[in-house]
């Protein structure tokens, strides 16, 4: 019985082998008239993970629109931003032995930023950037280095104007905005050379206006959270349309809060008034009408028909005296702009130039009347 089973198993294996041979022969048969195809081994090559996969963007994306607006504004202004490098020599004593030393000269270098405000080569910057400098050099956005000299400066606002000889083609001047119309919360862009890193851009917002932080004799700062560091001084603060709205001036940072700072810029309306005066007269002429103003406080508004500002002093032989203005006169508006405190009055007056006129809306003879006064130069050396 076992022998019979063995032979049956051998026969089954033989049938399977024969079937496999027949199938192989059929696959190798060639049909007459058809070419014989030579098949290469097929290998699957996966797509590279680094191959480009950029899809066309069609739908509206507000974030992209915002980003493009920032980039466009920066591109518009960048050619008007310069690096300002200064140098001076200072005597130092190098100790040799106790009680004895050798006097040597040490070269001190400084760096800041500036803005081209006129195609003829006038640059607006911070005065502390060039203070005590023995030589001044500006570096254009394309890397061109040119000597410059100071035209004049104003200590009260820490502003200075430089002059260089522009090459052809003329350097583009920045476009001026209107700092009076800037609103808190708007986007602000700072450009400059912090830590010698030329053409650096930071973005933030207008945090507040009219700040006074006791850094300068006269302050009407625009506060921003755009990062401003050493080397940004004198550079531009611009809006999303690429217009100058302020000159970066200072940063207030608590040492224990690293990286956290509040930056301040001088409003462009004031800066332009100061710059024009320096270019024309080599110094800034502070305008006034011959009287001082004082905030009344809310408890006195009823006395002055709701006015928040009054004239406190009137000086002889001035526009205010010639107009017969008296102390205690209520002030409602200046040039059509309502004023809520004495700083509003100063801001409007100081944004103008000597020889211009302003209109005061006053309470005269129990009626509101408008009086026009011509601005004269303040007779003192400095206002503060």
Which residues form the domain of 85?
A: 77-164
**Residues 193 and 272 occupy one common structural domain:** yes
- Decide if pLDDT at 142 tops 50: yes
Percent of the chain scoring above 90 in pLDDT: 54
- Decide if pLDDT at 350 tops 90: yes
- Of the CA atoms within 13 Å of residue 187, those in its CB half-sphere come to 15
- Decide if pLDDT at 225 tops 50: yes
**Residues 208 and 228 occupy one common structural domain:** yes
- The pLDDT, as a whole number, for residue 169 is 73
**Residues 151 and 199 occupy one common structural domain:** no
Following DSSP, what letter does each residue of 122-153 receive, concatenated? EEEEEHHHHTT-SEEEEE-TTS-EEEEEEEEE
**Residues 277 and 308 occupy one common structural domain:** no
- The pLDDT, as a whole number, for residue 15 is 53
Q: Give the pair of three-digit tokens for residue 53.
A: 């996969």
pLDDT tens for 239-289 read 999 999 999 997 665 544 554 568 899 999 999 999 999 999 999 999 999
Rounded average pLDDT over 143-159: 93
- The pLDDT, as a whole number, for residue 50 is 57
- The pLDDT, as a whole number, for residue 253 is 59
- The pLDDT, as a whole number, for residue 215 is 85
- The pLDDT, as a whole number, for residue 11 is 60
**Residues 274 and 294 occupy one common structural domain:** no
Domain contains 350: yes
**Residues 318 and 340 occupy one common structural domain:** yes
Answer for the pair 176, 237: CB distance below 8 angstroms, yes or no.
no
Residue 292: give its domain's CATH number: 2.30.42.10
- The pLDDT, as a whole number, for residue 8 is 60
Domain contains 193: yes
Domain contains 30: no
**Residues 267 and 293 occupy one common structural domain:** no
Q: Give the pair of three-digit tokens for residue 8.
A: 């049956």
pLDDT tens for 95-138 read 776 766 666 655 656 789 999 999 999 999 999 999 988 889 99
Domain contains 51: no
- The pLDDT, as a whole number, for residue 256 is 45
Say which DSSP state 41 is in.
P
Domain contains 188: yes
- The pLDDT, as a whole number, for residue 374 is 95
- Of the CA atoms within 13 Å of residue 101, those in its CB half-sphere come to 8
Catalytic sites, residue numbers: 128, 158, 233
Map tokens 């930056």 to a residue. 263
- Decide if pLDDT at 344 tops 80: yes
**Residues 301 and 255 occupy one common structural domain:** no
- Decide if pLDDT at 27 tops 90: no
pLDDT tens for 206-224 read 999 999 888 888 989 999 9
Strands of 179-242, DSSP E: 187-192, 200-211, 221-224, 236-238
Torsion-angle region of 308 (φ positive above 0: left; ψ -120 to 50: alpha; else: beta): alpha
Say which DSSP state 194 is in.
G
Map tokens 């203005």 to a residue. 325
Residue 156: give its domain's CATH number: 2.40.10.10
CA distance 179 to 251: 19
- Is pLDDT larger for residue 311 or for residue 31? 311
Band of pLDDT at residue 384, cut at 50, 70 and 90: very low
CA distance 114 to 118: 12
Domain endpoint, select from 136, 164, 192: 164
Specify which of 166-180, 254-268, 360-374 reaches the highest per-range mean pLDDT. 360-374
- The pLDDT, as a whole number, for residue 272 is 95
For the four alpha carbons of 259, 191, 146 and 141, in that order, the dihedral sign comes to positive
Answer for the pair 7, 14: CB distance below 8 angstroms, yes or no.
no
**Residues 135 and 205 occupy one common structural domain:** no
Average model confidence (pLDDT) across the chain: 82
How many independent structural domains does the chain possess? 3
Spacing of C-alpha 173 from chain mean position: 16
Domain contains 222: yes
Domain contains 170: no
């Amino acid at each position: 019985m076992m022998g019979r089973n063995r032979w049956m198993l051998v026969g089954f294996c033989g049938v399977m082998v024969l079937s496999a041979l027949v199938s192989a022969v059929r696959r190798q048969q060639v049909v007459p008239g058809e070419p014989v195809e030579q098949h290469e081994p097929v290998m699957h090559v996966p797509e590279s993970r680094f191959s480009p996969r950029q899809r066309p963007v069609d739908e509206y994306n507000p974030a992209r629109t915002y980003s493009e607006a920032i980039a466009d504004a920066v591109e518009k202004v960048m050619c008007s931003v310069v690096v300002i490098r200064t140098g001076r020599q200072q005597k130092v004593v190098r100790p040799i032995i106790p009680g004895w030393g050798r006097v040597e000269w040490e070269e001190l270098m400084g760096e800041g930023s500036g803005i081209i405000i006129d195609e003829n080569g006038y640059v607006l910057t911070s005065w502390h950037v060039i203070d005590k400098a023995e030589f001044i050099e500006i570096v254009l956005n394309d890397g061109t280095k040119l000597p410059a000299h100071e035209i004049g400066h104003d200590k009260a606002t820490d502003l200075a104007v430089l002059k260089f000889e522009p090459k052809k083609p003329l350097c583009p001047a920045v476009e001026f905005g209107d700092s009076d119309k800037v609103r808190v919360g708007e986007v602000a862009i700072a450009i400059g050379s912090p830590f010698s890193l030329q053409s650096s851009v930071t973005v933030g917002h207008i945090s507040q206006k009219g700040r006074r932080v006791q850094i300068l004799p006269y302050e009407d700062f625009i506060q921003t959270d755009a990062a401003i560091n050493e080397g940004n001084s004198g550079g531009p603060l611009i809006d999303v349309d690429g217009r100058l709205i302020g000159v970066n001036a200072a940063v207030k940072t608590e040492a224990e809060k690293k990286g956290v700072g509040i930056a301040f810029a001088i409003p462009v309306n004031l800066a332009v008034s100061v710059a024009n005066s320096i270019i024309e007269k080599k110094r800034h002429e502070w305008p006034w009408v011959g009287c001082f103003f004082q905030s009344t406080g809310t408890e006195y508004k009823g006395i002055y028909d709701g006015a928040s500002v009054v004239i406190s002093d009137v000086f002889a032989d001035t526009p205010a005296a010639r107009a017969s203005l008296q102390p205690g006169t209520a002030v409602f508006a200046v040039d059509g702009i309502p004023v809520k405190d004495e700083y509003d009055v100063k801001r409007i007056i100081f944004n103008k130039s000597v020889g211009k006129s302003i209109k005061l809306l006053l309470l005269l003879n129990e009626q509101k009347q408008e009086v026009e006064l011509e601005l004269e130069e303040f007779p003192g050396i400095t206002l503060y």
